[in-house]
Chain A
């Protein structure tokens, strides 16, 4: 979150995070991690309860009682929910970068630009360090020259554009998110087909595996290599070209699972 604080505030959005921790714990955490946005202390879980997200499955006699089901609300300027990101698995977290990309279409600058046949491809996402169990969003942005289109999913008789990640035990991939296609009428052959023109972006959100599973898959710099491919068939207004497959690559820096705690005296008591 801290790494994306400026981007969030550039969107005119406030940012605050609520937990049941004492002010002392939040202070220690903010100092240690250089957090500059508001960490709010809800020690009796009053606000957590008022939102209806108290985790009732936690044993009341343990220090963990009082935690919420974790999630993020996107609010408008009047405090009305416009979207929310909650996960069924309590270990899984959305990263701020992933929410910014999915909610506001804010892709970081591409880390690689590929001049493929008939189109330019920008590969982005995954460039903010992430921790095990976090969700990150990878993106591929294609720029097409004038009069060139590629086929969108649902097309019959042509090869639609597709993004595939090589499967790995290091992550689980959501279905690809495709933008809405434009319908094009091909007068010469009396066909109506779904296409993408000029510019389009495909997004793939993945959930990183837990620490135990992901650690052996990292290289010496703690980088996880994610490979995949973009497949498409480009056409202009006269002809369709041979389908192309472009290899893609993301390097995600995976931080160790954070086990640092505040001194004993500050910790929450049952």
Chain B
């Protein structure tokens, strides 16, 4: 059954599922996800850390977040005042960046030459902001809400999956219209 599924996946998705790398990565992801749960007491997440970094930078710039509905709460104000390295999500985000850097340098894909027109740049910035903002509204991205949610038995991960699947269908069509295909 597993061999048949792997064979189907290879035929259906082309080169991405070739070789043993994808299986090694899947097992490594599972092992590190469990370790994250054991050490941090919570599943792996990303978006909270990015929001915290933004809140810290806004505070350094003189923005008072005390009136903000989320960051104004005492727990979050304490989090902003505490060192970044006290926050497990921020620490794993730093590890994620380091891992991406090492992998992209090894594959020779670091800082690829990008050719895009004005419309494509604007589309990338606007959709990137929408992606980040909606990830906070959804209480997580494909890691904190989807991967962590489903792997820990939470129904909200499956709800996230259904919404993201519908959004992806629309997004792929929008990419074609904006000339971002490929």
Partners in one complex: no
Task: Give me the interface of B with A, judged by CB distance under 8 Å.
Answer: none
